[in-house]
């Protein structure tokens, strides 16, 4: 077919100087800039665009925009996208589209036979069958049949989406007559206005008719006003953008398709609007009768829009079927474009005079309805019958324009928890009470008279601006005309077709009038039940053209009114939005940033395997030599610490400086043990609990001077501890004089540990006495080390003599390199967290993530000594006392030695009585090959464990039982002589 | 996403804050409470379908703790003040 | 009850499906029942069914403020699994899965229960440790969780192309829970409602309970509804999210807080993921429904909420996390999203318990309560019938809070 077949010789808002080639189902076609895929297909005479979801019935283009239920296609190649209706896809050069749900083509679909079984497939049929031999026997087939398009096989590059945040006084949704007026009024008042429209062309419905506004054509008026708004400094206009969510506190989410930056595919805005004017227009409804889904059946407004917007003649011989006044203009315009209009079939017994005047010269069959559409892959004609009495006759046509009335687009109003009411006059759900920040205007408010629409837009814009503190905004509402008044009489379903299994209320999901009736018959009478049982309104189009008919049919069936039925919940998004546009550039490190120390590049250069270590830190796990296994590397590193010296990067450990008169009081409140006797330069290990009396964190706190302390926390909990302390101070003890400063990232440290640590430190030229007497365990000194100002702490996490050398972050790498250089004489080895783990397990030191488990208190870990008996109060005291007052036996920390000394126990393996398949009595919290003991050692939590030292317990690892001896939880230097040396 | 009106910084997006749940009676009045009262205080915070007093921390702003009165049904915020002055 | 079968479907097709009977009946609300169940959701309807079926108590009214099956059973992410960590939890959920396995036949209602399995995708040692712990504990109770190589994961889920060696969080391991399933959630409510109705239980929709009522002795006496007072000596509260609102009408405060959880689906596409994929490290899980929609869930919103809204920030992070695993989903579209109010116990473990008011029973604190519907309903019915907990819910009693003996499940945050 040639492209001139259905394209009018002139007119339309397309650019005929820019032809575009595209493909559909492999065939080459041409359209023009300004076309959508749908209009270009219609211009090329293509009416069959795909097959339906359930029955594989032929389907074509029904609507004009995102509401279209019938023409889902898949895009290939660069555009690679899944299920959009052809009506919402702007034509572009090289577009490659395919129909969905049919094979090999929509015209010759091998699954078309499923129509034959339609009588077996009523609503919810799958709940009643497929039970024998079991659902699994049928499910694969059903799944393959379901779904529309395919996910593109390859990942699309994501640099093409960005997210912006914006603020405005007044956000106007929709740039039709009401929206333009609202934006104009608000802008004139001085408000900051954002005007959003899904169409690139401003004007909305004004572009699709022939009315005049302000003495010029409506389309010209819209263009001029948009240009005027564009010239104002306080207006931002987003064209080709959809407002798809309206959330709390004035947050609206907008996605712009093809924003004016060539490298961007789309841009999502999170806009905070103080006031929102919803002028999103209205959507025309389908009419429900038998075979109302034949390609060639189209909404009347869509046919009119194709005519005016794209200069496309969607058929040769048309018939208009309506229950309201609005479709008469379509009939008139079709006739004016040279399309034969066979008749206007109006279900109203007495159409209003204004309507009749519009369509002068066209036969009007009042009180008639269409009962059947004929044809299969293309409409051939319809059967028309009077509503009352006999006299059915067949009328040939290849285009049937339907208008079932108009449904205001209240989605965004409802999303913001606005309530709707059923308006008898317009037979539609219209906004009732809503959030104070939201105004509806125009046909979204249920107004269908153009003059009233313009006025309501101006009023909404003016009020919205005024509520943002911008008075004024008086704009003259232009005179519109001629536009006859809207009048409608509801027709939810043609009476004769009420039980038809081929009268569709939801074209996309193949839901029929009979399905609704069956749902009601079976008890699924609530509107949500109907939706869920029949799937009406759950397709990609979310039932925009059909849901109101469902409500009407349902009301009729259960003998009530649409008002009593109500609607299903309106949920975001208003239209399907690509996940890529929602996530924007957030991927990889932009989604999950990580923290690193100044030494990180050194670690990586020296072969460290980096681990995710909590609080988004990455730390060296171990440093394998070429060809070395994990186990060998860990053993080598551990042995170096026990026998010579190792160094690890302890910078991520949390650090908080605490100042003020009441600093000690805070520390006493936070930790279970006492700190009052601590002298300047001294430190103490402490455990802090939650209010629930469970261990929250541990660490060493040093006293730096009068009313001045440095608290260290575990890496993962640094932020949480700081938060808890601040919360306590500000909310519970606002009168205390304490200042907290988290300083984790200001320090970098190299912790040297091992018998040779002191010799190594001496080689780094410290300017202080580092002998054990002058610088004992658990003390802290400021010094110059390796030429750098440093703060050295004698703490130990490995059980060996250790010096934690802290320097300013900028000196971190220099310190590390000097330590490594000086250490070579002592056979120094960099040590990762794996070896650290081995060493602390040997020593029986606590690791929160392993032993505390969120369920233990200090007594459970054999650390009752750390709970002060004298302090009046500390956080968690009361709860721990209450819990322990029951005398219930608890799980306690013990050492576990497998009888087979080489048998590694999986960490987290359960202990059960006798190793039987029973309720657990504990678990292995950690298990390592001890370099000191030259055997496997483990820690565990065991019910009543301390009383069972010396006994045998059993670890159950699936089908294996491993006998272990219960011991004290320390396998190395139990008296702490080495770390104090 | 809420807009919280920090008394020190002005209107800010929720993403700058940390929510610490419902604010309860200050701890100090509970020192003499019974075990049952303490357990109740600890485990059964207010859960109203309506206005709840919450603690929020302006962690990515001024660092102040705030008391926010927020409706759990509508998310409307009725009052925001600094926690330090809550008991003045 | 009219039997559902292929044969009957065929028979009814011949008569245009005109003689199907209602799945449940509308009956007048009486003034007195043996048991009142508040909440015609999954747990409430299941409890009604088991009361009648197992305990012979069919003089039962199930009251709901809205439509039957309209609570969280209408808005969950349909995942059924038993990969828990604590002795208090695992056997309960194992039982629930096994009840689900038989439920389609038992209720004569195709729930489209589909044991597709769930794969946990693991990116950090901490999560690996938690999941291994679950694996070994679950084995004791006969629930299977088995390690899967990354290569096998890629083979089973070809669309999962993210998390490669060069990515921010490379996948280090995977774990398969083969008995995990998905199921048509509405059908579970409908199937239980139909079966309970058949056993004589009455279901009253649009009947809002305004308050609980106590008798002179302090025991429960009934409820005050929007349609008048209804008496019963036993009342079950199964109203996820709104539990404390109801119990506070008799001065009962419970250790619950109500939060919002968001879920969303994509447009329907041809089969692309045939298991449930869960990634605790990223905080997202996804499965594909029989209709072809991808069903996606993530983390909880902060702050108590009854609004059933969507927090854009939480939602965006979930989408971004999804795309980290499945970069090819960037062009896939969000079709629908929703929020649901659920109540969390102080220790995040469910509460199925008697309370201090005789005759009142509470089932609450369910998050991921869909998977618990059969066992939750069965044990709730037992509790009300015997006034004593079923052995499977001994760990879920309110008594645990009296001495702060919490049951703390960790590492399950993102895997509802």
Which residue, C345, C365, C390, sits at the end of a domain?
C345
C86 within a domain of the structure (yes/no): yes
DSSP one-letter code for A695: E
**Does residue A826 contact residue A614 with C-beta atoms inside 8 Å?**
no
Question: What are the start-end ranges of the H helices in C140-286?
Answer: 150-156, 185-198, 243-247
Per-residue pLDDT band at A157 (split at 50, 70, 90):
low
Q: Report chain B's C-alpha Rg in angstroms.
A: 14
Judgement on whether residues C396 and C272 belong to the same structural domain of the protein: no
List the CATH number of the domain containing C296.
3.30.9.10
Mean of the pLDDT values across residues B38-63? 95
Whether CATH 3.50.50.60 fits A289-402: yes
Taking the mean position of all CA atoms in its chain, how far away is CA A935?
A: 50
Secondary structure (3-state) at A106: coil
pLDDT digits (tens, 9 = 90+) for A824-850: 999 999 999 999 999 999 999 999 889
Judgement on whether residues C229 and C370 belong to the same structural domain of the protein: yes
Which residue, C330, C345, C360, sits at the end of a domain?
C345
* Partners of A238 in the β-ladder: A196
Judgement on whether residues C339 and C263 belong to the same structural domain of the protein: yes
A330: closest CA of chain C, how far (Å): 32
Q: Which residues in chain A have Cβ-Cβ distances shorter than 8 Å to C159? A: 151
pLDDT digits (tens, 9 = 90+) for C73-100: 999 999 999 999 999 999 999 999 999 9
**Does residue A384 contact residue A368 with C-beta atoms inside 8 Å?**
yes
Which of A311-320, B21-30, C5-14, C31-40 is predicted with the least confidence, judged by mean pLDDT? B21-30
Residue B32 has pLDDT above 80, yes or no: no
In chain B, where the domains are located: 3-24+41-85
> What percentage of chain A exceeds 70 in pLDDT?
99
Give Cα separations from A48 to A24, A71, A459, A910 (angstroms): 11, 9, 44, 64
Question: What are the start-end ranges of the H helices in C218-337?
Answer: 243-247, 312-325
What is the secondary structure of A166-177 as a DSSP string? EEEEEEEE--SH
Suggest the residue from B47, B50, B55, B75 to mutate for an interface test with chain C (most C CBs closer than 10 A). B47
Report the candidate in B67, A569, B74 with the shortest Cα–Cα distance to residue C306: B74
Q: Cβ of C17 and A514 within 8 Å? A: yes
Judgement on whether residues C67 and C190 belong to the same structural domain of the protein: yes
**Does residue C292 contact residue A535 with C-beta atoms inside 8 Å?**
no
pLDDT score, position A108: 85
Rounded to an integer, what distance in angstroms lies between the CA atom of residue A326 and that of residue A455?
A: 20
Q: Which residues contact C163 (CB under 8 A, 6 or more apart)?
A: C121, C123, C169, C170, C171, C324, C325
pLDDT score, position A3: 41
Per-residue pLDDT band at A940 (split at 50, 70, 90):
very high
Q: Which residues in chain B have Cβ-Cβ distances shorter than 8 Å to C65? A: none
pLDDT score, position A371: 97
Judgement on whether residues C262 and C337 belong to the same structural domain of the protein: yes
* Partners of A791 in the β-ladder: A782, A806
Q: Are strands A683-689 and A646-649 parallel, antiparallel or unpaired?
A: unpaired
C415 within a domain of the structure (yes/no): no
C6 within a domain of the structure (yes/no): no
C408 within a domain of the structure (yes/no): no
Tokens (6 digits) for C367 = 């998050």
**Does residue C328 contact residue C202 with C-beta atoms inside 8 Å?**
no
pLDDT score, position C411: 44
Q: Cβ of B31 and A873 within 8 Å? A: yes
Contacts 24+ apart (CB under 8 A), A960-965: A961/A915, A962/A898, A962/A899, A962/A900, A962/A903, A962/A905, A962/A915, A963/A898, A963/A899, A963/A915, A964/A896, A964/A897, A964/A898, A964/A899, A964/A905, A964/A911, A964/A938, A964/A940, A965/A896, A965/A897, A965/A899
Positions in chain C whose pLDDT score sits under 50: 411-416
pLDDT digits (tens, 9 = 90+) for A880-913: 999 999 999 999 999 999 999 999 999 999 999 9
Q: Cβ of B65 and A249 within 8 Å? A: no
Pick the CATH number of A600-642+754-838 from 1.10.150.120, 3.90.79.10, 3.30.565.10, 3.30.1360.120: 3.30.1360.120
pLDDT digits (tens, 9 = 90+) for A439-461: 999 999 999 999 999 999 999 99
Rounded to an integer, what distance in angstroms lies between the CA atom of residue A221 and that of residue A478?
A: 10
Check for a shared fold between A161-283+408-481 and A645-742+857-886. no
Which residue, C345, C374, C392, sits at the end of a domain?
C345
CATH number belonging to domain A498-576: 1.10.10
Neighbours of A482 (CB within 10 A): 12
Angle between helices C185-198 and A527-534 (to 10 degrees): 110
Rounded to an integer, what distance in angstroms lies between the CA atom of residue C308 and that of residue A417?
A: 10
For chain C, give the number of residues.
Answer: 416
Judgement on whether residues C84 and C194 belong to the same structural domain of the protein: yes
Sign of the alpha-carbon torsion through C401, C405, C410, C415: negative
Chains that touch A (3 or more CB pairs under 8 A): B, C
pLDDT score, position A711: 98
- Residue A51 has, within 13 A of its CA and on its CB side, a CA count of 24
Judgement on whether residues C263 and C299 belong to the same structural domain of the protein: yes
Q: Cβ of B84 and A249 within 8 Å? A: no
The reply to whether C257 touches chain B by the CB within 8 Å rule is yes
Q: What ipTM is given for this predicted complex?
A: 0.97
Mean of the pLDDT values across residues A355-368? 94
**Does residue A738 contact residue A666 with C-beta atoms inside 8 Å?**
yes
Fold exhibited by the domain B3-24+41-85: Folate-binding fold (3.30.2270)
Per-residue pLDDT band at A485 (split at 50, 70, 90):
confident
pLDDT score, position B88: 55
Which of A262-271, A455-464, A932-941, C41-50 is predicted with the least confidence, judged by mean pLDDT? A262-271
Which of A408-417, A884-893, B29-38, B58-67 is predicted with the least confidence, judged by mean pLDDT? B29-38
Rounded to an integer, what distance in angstroms lies between the CA atom of residue A150 and that of residue A157?
A: 18
Taking the mean position of all CA atoms in its chain, how far away is CA A825?
A: 56
Q: Cβ of C322 and A542 within 8 Å? A: no
Per-residue pLDDT band at A210 (split at 50, 70, 90):
confident
pLDDT score, position B87: 60
Tokens (6 digits) for C191 = 């199937």
Q: Are strands A241-246 and A251-257 parallel, antiparallel or unpaired?
A: antiparallel
DSSP one-letter code for A7: B
Q: How many domains does chain C have?
A: 2
Fold exhibited by the domain A161-283+408-481: FAD/NAD(P)-binding domain (3.50.50)
**Does residue A392 contact residue A368 with C-beta atoms inside 8 Å?**
no
Mean of the pLDDT values across residues A287-306? 97
Judgement on whether residues C314 and C283 belong to the same structural domain of the protein: yes
Mean of the pLDDT values across residues B63-83? 96
Report the candidate in A875, A868, A253, A375 with the shortest Cα–Cα distance to residue B42: A875
pLDDT score, position C410: 65
Residue A2 has pLDDT above 90, yes or no: no
Rounded to an integer, what distance in angstroms lies between the CA atom of residue A627 and that of residue A639?
A: 19
The reply to whether C242 touches chain B by the CB within 8 Å rule is yes
> What percentage of chain C exceeds 90 in pLDDT?
94
Mean of the pLDDT values across residues A859-888? 94
Q: Which of C17, C24, C67 is closest, CB to CB, to A122?
A: C17
Q: What values do phi and psi take at A417, rounded to 5?
A: 70, 25
Mean of the pLDDT values across residues A728-735? 94
- Buried b / exposed e across A387-403, counting CB within 10 Å, b at 16+? beeeeeeebebbbbbbb
| Chain pair B-C, CB pairs under 8 angstroms | 59
Judgement on whether residues C84 and C204 belong to the same structural domain of the protein: yes
pLDDT score, position A90: 93
Q: Residue C247 — left, alpha, or beta (φ > 0 → left; ψ -120 to 50 → alpha)?
A: alpha
* Partners of B25 in the β-ladder: none
A855 versus B52: which is more confidently predicted?
Answer: B52
Residue A468 has pLDDT above 80, yes or no: yes
pLDDT score, position A921: 97
pLDDT digits (tens, 9 = 90+) for A674-684: 999 999 999 99
List the CATH number of the domain containing C214.
3.50.50.60
pLDDT score, position B29: 60
Judgement on whether residues C105 and C191 belong to the same structural domain of the protein: yes
Rounded to an integer, what distance in angstroms lies between the CA atom of residue A155 and that of residue A863?
A: 53
B→A contacts (Cβ < 8 Å), by residue, are 1-3, 18, 20, 23, 26-28, 31, 35, 38-39, 42, 55, 57, 59, 63-65, 74-75, 82-87
Which of A177-181, A291-295, A552-556, B39-43 is predicted with the least confidence, judged by mean pLDDT? B39-43
Pick the CATH number of A645-742+857-886 from 2.60.15.10, 3.60.10.10, 3.30.70.1400, 3.30.70.100: 3.30.70.1400
Q: Which domain holds residue C158?
A: 118-180+258-345
Judgement on whether residues C262 and C340 belong to the same structural domain of the protein: yes
In chain A, where the domains are located: 15-110, 161-283+408-481, 289-402, 498-576, 600-642+754-838, 645-742+857-886
Residue A364 has pLDDT above 80, yes or no: yes
């Amino acid at each position: 077919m040639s492209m001139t077949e259905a394209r009018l010789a002139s007119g339309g808002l397309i650019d005929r100087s820019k032809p575009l080639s595209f493909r559909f189902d492999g065939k080459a076609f041409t359209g023009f800039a300004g076309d959508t895929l749908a209009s270009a297909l219609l211009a090329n005479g293509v009416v069959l665009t795909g097959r339906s979801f359930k029955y594989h019935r032929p389907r074509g283009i029904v609507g004009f925009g995102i509401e279209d239920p019938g023409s889902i296609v898949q895009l290939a190649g660069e555009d690679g996208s899944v299920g959009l209706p052809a009506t919402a896809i702007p034509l572009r050069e090289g577009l490659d589209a395919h129909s969905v749900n049919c094979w090999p083509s929509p015209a010759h679909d091998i699954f078309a036979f499923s129509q034959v079984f339609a009588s077996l497939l009523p609503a919810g049929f799958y709940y009643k069958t497929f039970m024998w031999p079991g659902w699994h026997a049928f499910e694969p087939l059903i799944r393959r049949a379901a779904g529309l398009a395919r996910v593109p096989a390859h990942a699309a590059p994501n640099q093409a989406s960005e997210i912006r945040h914006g603020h405005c006084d007044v956000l106007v949704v929709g740039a039709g007559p009401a929206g333009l007026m609202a934006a104009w009024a608000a802008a004139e008042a001085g408000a900051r206005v954002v005007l959003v429209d899904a169409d690139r062309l401003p004007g909305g419905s004004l572009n699709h008719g022939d009315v005049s506004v302000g003495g010029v054509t409506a389309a010209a008026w819209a263009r001029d006003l948009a240009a005027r708004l564009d010239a104002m400094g306080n207006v931002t206009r987003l064209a080709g953008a959809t407002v798809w969510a309206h959330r709390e506190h004035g947050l609206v989410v907008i996605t712009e398709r093809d924003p004016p930056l060539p490298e961007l595919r789309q841009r999502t805005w999170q806009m905070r609007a103080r006031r929102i004017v919803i002028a999103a227009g209205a959507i025309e409804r389908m009419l429900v009768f038998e075979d109302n889904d034949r390609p060639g059946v189209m909404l009347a407004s869509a046919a009119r829009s194709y005519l005016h917007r794209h200069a496309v003649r969607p058929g040769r011989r048309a018939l208009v079927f309506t229950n309201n006044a609005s479709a008469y203009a379509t009939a008139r315009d079709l006739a004016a474009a040279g399309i034969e209009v066979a008749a206007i079939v109006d279900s109203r017994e007495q159409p209003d005079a204004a309507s009749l005047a519009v369509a002068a010269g066209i036969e009007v069959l009042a009180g008639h309805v269409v009962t059947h559409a004929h044809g299969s892959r293309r409409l051939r004609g319809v059967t028309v019958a009077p509503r009352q009495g006999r006299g059915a006759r067949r009328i040939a046509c290849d285009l049937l324009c339907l208008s079932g009335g108009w449904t205001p687009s209240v989605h965004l109003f409802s999303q913001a928890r606005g309530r709707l009411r059923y308006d008898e006059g317009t037979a539609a759900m219209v906004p009732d009470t809503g959030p104070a920040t939201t105004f509806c205007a125009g046909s979204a408010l249920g107004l269908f008279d153009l003059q009233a629409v313009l006025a309501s837009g101006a009023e909404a814009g003016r009020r919205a601006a005024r509520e943002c503190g911008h008075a004024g905004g008086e704009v003259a509402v232009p005179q519109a005309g001629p536009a006859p008044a809207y009048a409608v009489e509801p027709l939810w379903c043609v009476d004769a077709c009420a039980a038809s299994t081929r009268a569709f209320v939801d074209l996309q999901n193949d839901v029929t009038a009979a399905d609704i009736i069956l749902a009601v018959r079976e008890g699924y009478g609530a509107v949500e039940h109907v939706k869920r049982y029949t799937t009406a309104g759950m397709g990609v189009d979310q039932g925009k053209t059909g849901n109101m008919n469902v409500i009407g049919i349902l009301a009729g069936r259960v003998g009530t009114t649409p008002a009593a039925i109500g609607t299903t919940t309106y949920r975001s998004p208003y239209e399907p939005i690509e996940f890529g546009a929602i996530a924007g550039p957030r991927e990889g490190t932009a989604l999950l940033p990580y923290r690193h120390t100044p030494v990180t590049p050194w670690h990586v250069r020296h072969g460290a395997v980096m681990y995710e270590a909590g609080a988004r830190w990455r730390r060296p796990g171990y440093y394998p030599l070429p060809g070395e296994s994990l186990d060998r590397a860990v053993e080598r590193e551990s042995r170096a610490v026990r026998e010579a010296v190792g160094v690890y990067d302890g910078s991520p450990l949390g650090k908080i400086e605490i100042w003020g008169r009441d600093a000690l009081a805070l520390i006493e409140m936070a930790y279970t043990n006492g700190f009052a006797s601590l002298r300047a330069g001294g430190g103490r290990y402490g455990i802090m609990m939650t209010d629930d009396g469970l261990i929250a964190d541990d660490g060493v706190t040093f006293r730096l001077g009068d009313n001045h302390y440095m608290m260290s926390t575990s890496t993962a909990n640094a932020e949480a501890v700081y938060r808890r302390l601040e919360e306590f101070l500000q909310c519970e003890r606002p009168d205390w004089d304490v200042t907290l400063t988290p300083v984790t990232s200001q320090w970098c440290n190299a912790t040297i540990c091992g018998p040779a640590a002191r010799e190594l430190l001496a080689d780094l030229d410290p300017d202080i006495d580092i002998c054990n007497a002058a610088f004992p365990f658990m003390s802290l000194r400021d010094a110059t080390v390796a030429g750098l100002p440093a703060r050295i702490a004698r703490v130990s996490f490995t059980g060996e003599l250790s010096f934690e050398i802290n320097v300013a972050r900028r000196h971190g790498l220099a310190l590390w390199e000097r330590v490594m250089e000086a250490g070579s004489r002592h056979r120094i080895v960099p040590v990762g967290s794996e070896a650290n783990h081995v060493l602390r397990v040997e020593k029986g030191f606590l690791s929160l993530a392993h032993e505390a488990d969120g369920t233990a208190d200090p007594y459970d870990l054999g650390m009752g000594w750390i709970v002060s008996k004298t302090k009046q109060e500390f956080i968690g005291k009361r709860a721990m006392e209450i819990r322990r007052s029951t005398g219930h036996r608890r799980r306690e920390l013990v050492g576990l030695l497998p009888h087979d000394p080489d048998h590694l126990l999986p960490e987290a393996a359960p202990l059960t009585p006798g190793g039987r398949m029973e309720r657990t009595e504990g678990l292995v919290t950690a298990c390592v090959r001890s370099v000191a003991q030259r055997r496997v050692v483990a820690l565990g939590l065991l019910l009543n464990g301390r009383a069972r030292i010396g006994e045998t317990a059993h670890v159950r690892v699936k089908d294996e039982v491993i006998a272990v001896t219960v011991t004290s939880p320390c396998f190395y230097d139990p008296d702490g002589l080495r770390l104090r040396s | 996403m809420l807009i919280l009106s920090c008394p020190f910084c002005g209107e800010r997006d929720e993403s700058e804050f940390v929510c610490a749940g419902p604010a309860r009676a200050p701890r100090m009045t509970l020192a003499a409470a019974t075990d049952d009262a303490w357990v109740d205080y600890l485990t059964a915070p207010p859960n109203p379908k309506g206005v709840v007093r919450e603690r929020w921390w302006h962690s990515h702003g001024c660092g102040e703790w705030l008391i926010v009165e927020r409706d759990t049904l509508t998310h409307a915020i009725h009052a925001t003040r600094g926690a330090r002055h809550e008991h003045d | 009850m009219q039997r559902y079968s292929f044969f009957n479907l065929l028979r009814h097709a011949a008569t245009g499906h005109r003689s199907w009977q209602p799945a449940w009946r509308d009956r007048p609300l009486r003034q007195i029942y043996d048991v009142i169940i508040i909440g015609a959701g999954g747990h409430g309807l299941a409890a009604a069914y088991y009361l009648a079926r197992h305990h012979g108590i069919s003089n039962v009214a199930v009251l709901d403020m809205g439509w039957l099956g309209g609570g969280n059973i209408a808005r969950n992410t349909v995942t059924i699994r038993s990969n828990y960590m604590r002795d208090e939890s695992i056997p309960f959920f194992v039982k629930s899965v096994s009840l689900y396995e038989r439920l389609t036949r038992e209720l004569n209602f195709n729930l489209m229960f589909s044991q597709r399995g769930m794969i946990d995708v693991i990116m950090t040692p901490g999560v690996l440790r938690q999941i291994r712990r679950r694996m070994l504990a679950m084995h004791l109770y006969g629930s299977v969780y088995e390690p899967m190589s990354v290569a096998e994961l890629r083979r089973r889920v070809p669309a999962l192309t993210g998390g490669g060696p060069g990515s921010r969080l490379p996948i280090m391991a995977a774990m398969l829970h083969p008995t995990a399933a998905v199921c048509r959630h509405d059908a579970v409510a409908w199937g239980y409602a139909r079966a309970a109705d058949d056993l004589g239980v009455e279901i009253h929709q649009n009947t809002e309970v305004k308050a609980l009522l106590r008798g002179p002795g302090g025991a429960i006496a009934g409820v005050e509804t929007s349609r008048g007072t209804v008496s019963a000596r036993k009342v079950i509260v199964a109203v996820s999210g709104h539990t404390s609102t109801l119990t506070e009408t008799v001065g009962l405060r419970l250790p619950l807080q109500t939060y919002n959880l968001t879920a969303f689906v994509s447009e329907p596409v041809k089969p692309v993921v045939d298991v449930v994929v869960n990634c605790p490290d990223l905080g997202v899980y996804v499965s594909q429904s029989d209709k072809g929609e991808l069903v996606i869930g993530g983390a909880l919103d902060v702050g108590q909420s009854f609004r059933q809204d969507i927090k854009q920030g939480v939602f965006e992070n979930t989408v971004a996390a999804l795309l980290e695993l499945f970069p090819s989903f960037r062009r896939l579209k969000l079709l629908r999203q929703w929020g649901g109010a659920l109540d969390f116990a102080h220790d995040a473990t469910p509460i199925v318990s008697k309370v201090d008011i005789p005759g009142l029973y509470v089932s609450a604190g369910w998050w991921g309560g869909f998977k618990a519907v059969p066992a939750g309903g069965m044990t709730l019915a037992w509790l009300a019938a015997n006034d004593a907990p079923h052995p499977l819910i001994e760990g879920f009693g309110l008594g645990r809070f009296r001495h702060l003996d919490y049951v703390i499940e960790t590492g399950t945050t993102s895997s509802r």
